[in-house]
Structure 1
Amino acid sequence: MRLFRCPRCRAVAFIETVVCDACGLQMGLHPPTLSMRPAPEQGGDVEGTWWFPCSNRSWRCNWLAAADSGSGQCVSCRLTRTRPDNADTLALEKLATASADKRRLLVQLADLGLPLTPWHEKKGGLGFDLLSSRSSGNRVVIGHASGIVTIDLAESLDAHREALRISLGEPYRTMLGHFRHEVGHYYQWVLVEQTDWIAECRTLLGDERTSYSDAVARHYRTGAPRDWNEGYISEYATMHPWEDFAECFAHYLHLTSTLQTAASGSLTVRIEGVPHLPDGDVTPRSSYADATMDEILADWIPLATFLNRVNRAMGKGDLYPFGIVAPVARKLDFVHRVVTASRVETPFG
């Protein structure tokens, strides 16, 4: 992600920071500029508009809400259509954790210039149902339908999520990953299926009109093809063209976010004597809007190789345990071209 700083002392701040660790300033994220600003309880002027802390600040939301928005909630919290009842304090704790990942997702989408039309402003707009299968006793199916992304807050529990990851044979499973994958379904629906991009999408990823229910049943009955890694980014991507696009979209967000984070720290990776990689320095860019997918991957593969080595030095698994073969690179290129062609000036309106 981009580098955030305290607006008073310029100390480095995380995207989730509520109070500056260095000077104690109460701060909040200003959505239109994606920058940290002072967040006094009474609010303050930002470029001619009064902004105040989101009414969900007690649940660790650090975004600012515009006084003229008609709501005490920030734009991120207003995108949540359904949430646990106020009496369910355990679920609300998990809501606070998941909402931080949602805000991280929204910052990246806005940074990429993707349109963020809310569900409450337009039918089919983006919204989130954040529910907990642990609290409700009902099964919560993570997914997307007509603009609404449903997330199971139980996935915020490490033991629950890790058990599912192992049982499903997945190398990577995080709450942020769920958000990135499911919003990929939303953008395929909005930016591809309802536009002229759909013909190329069907050529590259297959016809999304084939039965999804049949594809799901087949996948869980027989699993992925044995040679799945010759054309797909993950086993799950083999299930149906919808899942292939969503997986590629999520990985596109993984790549660009990590590259931007490396760029914000002025990281340069020296590659020397690594098989299949040319010797030389790789310096990630803060933006790849004007780059080709080949250029993105030329920076990503050395960086991922280095970060995998870092993780192994700490006794952990690879940070990025995936391979990007030529067919996957072509799909990522398609996602990149759709994203860059769909940029808007003011994602948050």
Structure 2
Amino acid sequence: MRRFFCQCGQEIFFENTHCGVCGSQLGFIPELQQLSSLQEDDNAWLMTDLFPLQRYRSCFHRDHELACNWLIPADSPNTQCISCALTRTIPMLTQPDNWRRWRTLEAAKRRMIYGLLRLNLPINAYYQGYEHGLVFDFLEDQRTNPDLALEHVLSGHSQGVITLNAAEADGSFREATREAMNESYRTLLGHFRHEIGHYYWDILIKETEHYAIFCDVFGFTEQDYQSSLNSYYSDGPATDWPEFYLSAYASAHPMEDWAETWSHYLMMSDTMETAVAYGLIDHFDYASDFDVLMTDWLSLVVKMNALNRSVGNTDAYPFVVSASVRKKLKFIHQLLNPLKKTRESVAFL
């Protein structure tokens, strides 16, 4: 994440709706990836300090508990921003904690979508009429709402539909699940990045010239998915999984290996952008040589882990990047580089 500053000079942050010093309203412009101070003109449209000749409207979800600060072009027929409009199903708001869960889910989704915009990845939304368009369903089960018929909701992706259990917004739920699954790392943002990886596999790999190389790097996807997962959950991962995978779950099936590696690459690129913004590393070029990028990344995570240990926390980066994992990350890096360099900006709204 880059750094943002109000027109008064105060540093402001991605989720802010107002400047804490001068009180200016703030809005995020998705297509420009900028957080800007706002003013109203004579027609009540919003102008920004960075782009005063352009007009915007607030997302419908700005002025209630979601506090969405994303903007919509003034001539758009939509009332919701690109991120909020992607949500189709929300948890029942009559349940005491579901407003908080919904707000937490949407905040993580916006941060994930920021990363997609920065990488120039296409977002073909369901509400725009795309076949298998991207859409999010935030569902509950009996663990958080005993009145429902569903005993368990599992996160997943199918033909553009990403399902997340709303309980993942609860830190206690994630930590209990992490312990039960013997995972070293589990975050809500990580869930979004993982599931969006399945969505982009359909767009960038399936039935494209990249499929054969994918199979060479990750393994053949023809092996039965459900039986592979059943074997993983019944027998556990192979003892040597760290030599070939980022996580134990990645060893369950090539599709999960792809999604885990994709999520990891998004985490790397977003974190390195932040590190440059705050002076922790000198530079980060999305189109740089992969080996240079990895050298800078591994240098950064040493600092991240040292900082965490100094304040008594576990390592921020509990991963081992083996030669096999490095090859998979390089595949994604090279796959995305042409998009970063040559793709025109997408008009989302």
Partner of 1:30: 29
SS, match of residue 170 in structure 1? coil
Q: Distance in 2 between matches of 1:21 and 1:140?
A: 39
* Kept in 2: contact 1:110–1:348 (CA 8 A): no
Structure 1 length-normalised TM: 0.91
Q: Distance in 1 between matches of 2:33 and 2:106?
A: 17
Amino acid paired to 2:198: H
1:244 aligns to 2:252 (yes or no): no
Q: Which ranges in structure 1 are unaligned for 5 or more consecutive residues?
A: 269-282
Judge conservation of contact 1:293–1:329 (CA < 8 Å) in 2.
no
Q: 1:143 aligns with which of 156, 166, 175?
A: 156
The residue correspondences of 1:153-164 to structure 2 (distance < 5 A) are 153-164=166-177
Helix, strand or coil: the match of 2:173?
helix
Question: What corresponds to 1:18 in structure 2?
Answer: 17
For residues 123-144 of structure 1, the C-alpha deviation after alignment (integer angstroms, 9 at most, x for no partner) is 1222211223323632221011
Match of 1:305 in 2: 302
Q: Is the 8 A contact 2:59 2:70 kept in 1?
A: yes
Do the aligned residues in 1 keep the contact of 2:91 with 2:166 (CA within 8 Å)?
Answer: no
CA distance in 2, matches of 1:155, 1:245: 22
Counterpart of 2:83 in structure 1 is: 76
Percent sequence identity over aligned pairs: 36
Aligned to 1:215: 228
Letter matched to residue 50 of structure 1: R
For the residues of structure 2 that align with 1:214 and 1:156, how far apart are their CA atoms?
A: 29
2:193–2:266 CA contact under 8 A, matched in 1: yes
TM-score by length of 2: 0.91
User: What is the alpha-carbon distance in structure 1 between the residues aligned to residue 94 and residue 167 of structure 2?
Assistant: 17
Conserved 8 A contact 1:19-1:25: yes
Q: Which deviates more from structure 2 when the two are superposed, residues 239-248 or residues 23-32?
A: 23-32
CA distance in 2, matches of 1:35, 1:297: 27
Encode CA deviations 1:274-317: one digit per residue, 9 max, x unaligned.
xxxxxxxxx242x32x1122111110001001110100001100
SS at match of 1:257: helix
CA RMSD, 1 decimal: 1.6
Alignment correspondent of 1:314: 311
Secondary structure, aligned partner of 2:334: helix
Give me the whole-angstrom Cα distance separating, in 1, the residues matched to 2:186 and 2:229: 19
Q: Which residue of 2 aligns with 1:232?
A: 245
> In structure 2, do the counterparts of structure 1 residues 81 and 194 end up closer, same or farther at CA, with 3 Å as the change threshold?
farther
C-alpha displacement of 1:43: 3.1
Amino acid at match of 1:36: L
Secondary structure of the 2:80 match is coil
Shift of 1:39: 4.2
Measure the CA separation in 2 of the matches of 1:182 and 1:335: 16
Indicate conservation of the 8 Å contact 2:38/2:47, yes or no: no
- Report which stretch shifted further, 33-42 or 171-180: 33-42
For residue 345 of structure 1, what is the amino acid of its counterpart? Answer: E
Aligned mate of 1:323, from 320, 325, 331: 320
Whole-Å Cα distance in 2 between the matches of residues 126 and 347 of structure 1?
A: 15
Q: Distance in 1 between matches of 2:11 and 2:346?
A: 25
In 2, Cα distance between equivalents of 1:325 and 1:110: 29
Q: Distance in 2 between matches of 1:79 and 1:346?
A: 19
How many angstroms apart in 2 are the aligned matches of 1:284 and 1:131? 40
Unaligned stretches of 5+ in structure 2? none
Please point out which of 75, 93, 99 is paired with 1:92.
99
How far off its partner does 1:67 sit? Answer: 2.8
| Moved >6 Å (runs of 4+) | none
2:58 paired residue number = 53
Q: Distance in 2 between matches of 1:25 and 1:45?
A: 12
Whole-Å Cα distance in 2 between the matches of residues 43 and 177 of structure 1? 36
Contact kept? 1:232, 1:244, Cα under 8 Å = yes
Q: Equivalent of 2:193, from 180, 183, 199? A: 180
